[in-house]
Structure 1
Amino acid sequence: MAAQFGRRLRKGVTTTAVAAAAVAALAASQAPGATTDSAGGQTTSDATSTPDEATDGDGATGDSPYYTDLPPLNSPNPSPSAGTGIDTSGVTEAGIPATVLDAYKQAEATLREKKPGCNLPWQLLAAIGKVESGQARGGRVDADGTTLSPILGPQLDGNGFALIKDTDDGAYDGNSTYDQAVGPMQFIPSTWAWAGRDGNGDGREDPNNIYDAALAAGHYLCRNGWDLSVQDDLDRAILSYNNSTEYLNTVMSWLEYYRRGTHEIPDGTGTLPTDRSDRVTVPPSASAAPKPKPEHSTTPKPGTKPPGSSPSPKPPTAPGTPTTPPTKPPTTPPTPTDTVDHLENAGVAQFTAMAGDTFTERMSARAETDAGRTVAKVRIRFTIAGDTDTTFTGGERVATVMTDSSGVAVAPALQAGEQTGTVTVQATVAGRTVKGVSYKATVTERAADSLVRTGDTPLTCTPGGAFADAVELKATYRGEAADKVAATAMIVDSVLAGTPSDKGPYFKDADGNAVRTWSLTTDANGLLKLPQLYADDTEGTFLLRVTTTGGATTTVALTVKKADEPETPDPSTDPSESPAA
């Protein structure tokens, strides 16, 4: 068992108002850089609460108990490579159930777009999820991300905990007297009322759904303008979730552990924590002495049989007496995910895009039963495998999409990186190990289909001199500027020449040597700006040929000739003489 921090008993407070004041004061003393106002409430220089992101004095969880298990000392590296399917190898504690991990990453992607200044890492959500519920009790969730059974904290009745009377009429926690923390991220109903979010797009804000709860936790941690890449703000955010120094230290331990590497494991197979902050271990010295065995008595107690007597036989059943058959436990109907037998490719077979471009075609998978019937409302996970910088739109390497009424899930568009070659994308059923689909996508070099000179000034030079005008060209692809396209410039002496000339105009390399071949790349506007051109003593007309990846080519004439000499007047003619009459 991992070492754990010392536990503490929580003292009850008489009212919710007193609890809120105590929490605010403790947060002020624990959060680095925090101050308190005249009423004892915590203040920060950038606090900007909005009506839908109010600050709750009881924190997200009402300071409910949490798991105090610490991560192992061994680093989870090397972790199994992403995109190789479900892999349970490596350090056990580093494994996060597939659907739970997907929810954390989706929440991070959403917050990156909605609140980019927050810099929320998904590993922080994983750390809090581990401490609050053991990753939804080891990933016991359905394909939609909803817990298979409710996860409830103890009722906050002031008996060892804060006193928070019912705020939701039992709608979330089933308790109409006191509030209880609910779901995998352990929100109390009063906090969920303003922090709740719909993370899985089903139109509901359910604290028992890991997608909803993870997104809500992300928004909660990103309020008040906090930047979680700054340690002080990170401490404040964690303490606002549960106001305890031990809680802060435990979450930070798991955050650093997950940052060193994690891997995906099947839903329902996660490691369950064992130690909680509201359980106090009794030292062996304080345990009661064993009770002595009672003295033997030959007189049996009323209603008991003497030792060694045979058990009384059961009375026989009268003929014709009906017997009640044993009641079978109710069976849970299979979910749509349970009926899936395999996935099929529901789109095209080939995917190609140039480096830096978005793929035109999108990958799609169809969920089918063993009989070939399509299955709707099934989560399909698309994972980019291997060492590549190609991602889905938004920079993610994993995307989870629910099948529509026709059983088809369409992945987000692929965004090609700068690495060329083949990219593999795998589609699997979230929470199931069934036959999936593998796609191949090809990333080609950036190319141009047109190349023209931006100016029309003739390029001339005297022998041994330098060309006054620089050469600039523009590359386009399908009418748009072609950026980062490789090109080669070569000085040739004829249109058909395949090798550079050995005389005439030239470029200079870094050592000042004459070279007649030059490699360069277009800028962000598709422009090619060639370096200074020089001429040797050879007169004549030469050609500057420039070719880009993709086959776009243009030639520019380069003329080397002596300067024209001024005309000399005829000495036999005297300009002072007047012509004859």
Structure 2
Amino acid sequence: MSSAYFGSRLRKGAVNTTVAALAVAALAASQAPDVTADSAGRQTTTDAPAADPATGDGATGNSPYYTDLPPLNSPNPAPSASTGTTPAGTGSAEAGIPATVLDAYKKAEAKLAQSKPGCNLPWQLLAAIGKVESGQARGGRVSADGTTFAPILGPVLNGVGFANISDTDNGAYDGDSTYDRAVGPMQFIPSTWEWAGRDGNADGRKDPNNIYDAALAAGHYLCRYSWDMSTSSGLRSAILSYNNSTDYYNTVISWLEYYRKGSHEIPDGTGSVPSNRSDDDGGTTPRTPATPAAPHKPGTPGKPNKPNKPGTPAEPSTPPVTPKPPATPTDTVHHLEDAGTATLTAMAGDAFTTRIGTRTETAAGKAVAKVRVRFTITGDTDATFAGGESVATVVTDSKGVASAPALKAGEKTGTFTVRATVVGRTVTALTYRATVTERAADTLTRAATTDLTCEAGGEFAEEIELKATYRGAAADKVAATATLITSADEPTTNDKGPYFKDADGNPVRTWTLTTDADGLLKLPKLYADDTAGTYLLRITTAGGATLTLDLTVTAPEPTTPTPDPGESQDPSPTPSPEPSAS
């Protein structure tokens, strides 16, 4: 992304893009809350705000674009409720989108719906941008796999009428090792494609001249800051991040609304290419050659004149000097300085509270504004910037400071680095060290207050549940260990008393587990061997939270012998009767 300026001349394309702000007027009312329509049904939009400073000046380096507007009449027939597109071969010619190009837009929409559902990216937005950037890949002149038959290149960004972007890819994408040029059907500049590029057709390559790759990359680029495309503010921010121009925004919105009303598939290579652009001379569209003049009829030769006397030969004229482009702010940068960045540490899964700040300075230490600084995450880490990217380009503010987007820690712990470099100029990089620590808890509590008792040889009726917190908030995904220990002073693993059972039913007295999303720990069932007594269960977590619980195993109750029902209940003999006196 870069700072671009096209000069103050009034151009043919500029007139068309000015009309775009009024032409949105002829479209049907938008669902966006800050779009209004007049009595004639014409739409107007509020002036688009300046782009987010973290986005720079766009994916295209603010390269020129097509300014043709859609017809004032709606596509006919209207789209069906099931497909959202009109039948092939019907409707306005401008509503037709080449088959492979249309397929790329729809597949990009489907992939973004899975990876970034909150973005709500419509494929019609990709179609609108593709229309103004390259005329739908020059009318769909692509191969079966979506690669353009010839590279689509914007003008040389050498500062003469356009942005001044020195080469960043050694000509790998644009064939120019001196200056950059926008590349492909979605017109990415090489420095942006370096991190935004995607493999949309699963061929193992990220090719800016492939419509599947370029469409998916454009979708991720638009969604990288979690803007919601279903809202007017999110949609406006995303479009302006692609090309920071209100005229560009109005033109894209015009085509977006037009395609939303209906579109249809046409064969590849049969689409029309727009004719008006925001610059004078062609970059992706060749100029139409002028009609040659009619040959002049020769006249009757006259009498030759007498040759003049040779004079002193004239001195050769001095060849014209090609004006050197004026120095850009980037050209004056001598070195990078840290702008007060504090220690970069975060727990796994959390956002870093500190943001990286880098200042661009001249050799004399003077701050330089409007310079693109690229921040790149390196090392064995899954940490990203906000939006899920590992690279971000930011334009320095009036104080020469570029503030990187917020860092978000992944699940990998350890140290990684963030490198700050100047786009378009070779200066020593500035390196920042960041650390991701494991998820932790500082407190463990048990909600229940009942005693944990069990008879020897039995099982504990209650399964123990605990709550882990960190600084008062639920501590999720925190590793914990439960151990039956011999004593509080010597927490070695006990070899008798209560125990857990492993998958094979064998007794174990150490158990590892992890808190759930609410910070809860639920221990497995506890059993008791035949040894009565009081035992200790200690639970510890990463971060130092500890809780020790008492477990009581009681001896079995003594049993009373039961008499044998076959024996007599009265063991004394029955006395014999007394003999008679007589």
- Could you tell me which of 458, 466, 475 is aligned with 1:473? 466
1:198 and 2:195 aligned: no
Structure-1 separation of matches of 2:254 and 2:190:
17
Local SS of the residue matching 2:365: coil
Structure-1 separation of matches of 2:181 and 2:135:
26
- Could you tell me which of 238, 246, 268 is aligned with 1:245? 268
1:413 and 2:406 aligned: yes
Instruction: Tell me which residue corresponds to 1:315.
Output: 312
1:100 and 2:189 aligned: yes
Q: Is the 8 A contact 2:168 2:424 kept in 1?
A: no
Structure-2 separation of matches of 1:376 and 1:123:
32
Alignment CA distance shift 1:219-1:442 (3 Å): farther
1:511 and 2:504 aligned: yes
Q: Is the 8 A contact 2:442 2:543 kept in 1?
A: yes
Q: Is the 8 A contact 1:125 1:218 kept in 2?
A: no
Instruction: Tell me which residue corresponds to 2:221.
Output: none
Structure-1 separation of matches of 2:400 and 2:182:
24
- Note the alpha carbon deviations across 1:286-341, whole angstroms, 9 max, x for none: xxxxxxxxxxxxx9996899xxxxx99653679xxxx9977644443212122112
Instruction: Tell me which residue corresponds to 1:554.
Output: 547
Alignment CA distance shift 1:535-1:448 (3 Å): same
Local SS of the residue matching 2:434: strand
1:425 and 2:418 aligned: yes
Local SS of the residue matching 2:189: helix
Instruction: Tell me which residue corresponds to 2:338.
Output: 345
Q: CA deviation at 1:205?
A: 2.0
Local SS of the residue matching 2:269: helix
The one-letter amino acid paired with 1:518 is W
The one-letter amino acid paired with 2:312 is P
Q: CA deviation at 1:198?
A: 2.2
Taking only aligned residues, the RMSD between alpha carbons, in angstroms, comes to 5.7
Q: CA deviation at 1:469?
A: 0.6
Q: CA deviation at 1:221?
A: 6.7
Note the residue ranges of structure 2 that are not aligned, 5 or more in a row. Answer: 1-69, 98-105, 107-121, 150-166, 199-204, 219-235, 274-281, 290-300, 562-582
The one-letter amino acid paired with 1:404 is D
Q: CA deviation at 1:37?
A: 11
Structure-2 separation of matches of 1:69 and 1:275:
16
- Could you tell me which of 513, 516, 533 is aligned with 1:540? 533
Q: CA deviation at 1:347?
A: 2.4
Q: What count of residue pairs does the alignment treat as equivalent?
A: 390
Q: CA deviation at 1:388?
A: 2.1
Q: CA deviation at 1:35?
A: 3.7
Structure-2 separation of matches of 1:315 and 1:400:
62
Local SS of the residue matching 1:245: coil
Structure-1 separation of matches of 2:310 and 2:77:
67
Instruction: Tell me which residue corresponds to 2:350.
Output: 357
Instruction: Tell me which residue corresponds to 1:7.
Output: none
Percent identity, please.
46
The one-letter amino acid paired with 2:507 is A
Q: Is the 8 A contact 2:502 2:508 kept in 1?
A: yes
Local SS of the residue matching 1:440: strand
TM-score norm. by structure 2 comes to: 0.54
Structure-1 separation of matches of 2:168 and 2:137:
34
Alignment CA distance shift 1:97-1:39 (3 Å): closer
Alignment CA distance shift 1:20-1:317 (3 Å): closer
Structure-2 separation of matches of 1:390 and 1:195:
25
Note the residue ranges of structure 1 that are not aligned, 5 or more in a row. Answer: 1-18, 74-84, 110-121, 136-193, 227-232, 251-271, 280-298, 306-310, 569-581
1:483 and 2:476 aligned: yes
Alignment CA distance shift 1:408-1:482 (3 Å): same
Structure-1 separation of matches of 2:96 and 2:386:
38
Range with bigger deviation, 449-458 or 333-342: 333-342
The one-letter amino acid paired with 2:268 is T
Residues 327-342 of structure 1 mapped to structure 2, 5 A cutoff = 328-342=321-335
Residues 225-244 of structure 1 mapped to structure 2, 5 A cutoff = none
Structure-1 separation of matches of 2:175 and 2:270:
19
Structure-2 separation of matches of 1:400 and 1:64:
27
Local SS of the residue matching 2:330: helix
Q: Is the 8 A contact 2:536 2:549 kept in 1?
A: yes
Q: Is the 8 A contact 1:490 1:545 kept in 2?
A: yes
Instruction: Tell me which residue corresponds to 2:387.
Output: 394
Instruction: Tell me which residue corresponds to 1:498.
Output: 491
- Note the alpha carbon deviations across 1:419-450, whole angstroms, 9 max, x for none: 11112211112232322211111111101111
Instruction: Tell me which residue corresponds to 2:520.
Output: 527
Local SS of the residue matching 1:468: coil
Structure-2 separation of matches of 1:476 and 1:357:
15
Local SS of the residue matching 1:198: helix
Structure-2 separation of matches of 1:364 and 1:459:
55
- Could you tell me which of 443, 448, 467 is aligned with 1:450? 443
Alignment CA distance shift 1:418-1:38 (3 Å): closer
Instruction: Tell me which residue corresponds to 2:369.
Output: 376
Alignment CA distance shift 1:126-1:357 (3 Å): farther
Local SS of the residue matching 2:359: strand
Q: CA deviation at 1:40?
A: 3.8
Alignment CA distance shift 1:27-1:341 (3 Å): farther
- Note the alpha carbon deviations across 1:540-560, whole angstroms, 9 max, x for none: 000000000111101010000
Structure-1 separation of matches of 2:87 and 2:488:
80
Structure-2 separation of matches of 1:274 and 1:506:
75
Structure-2 separation of matches of 1:327 and 1:467:
97
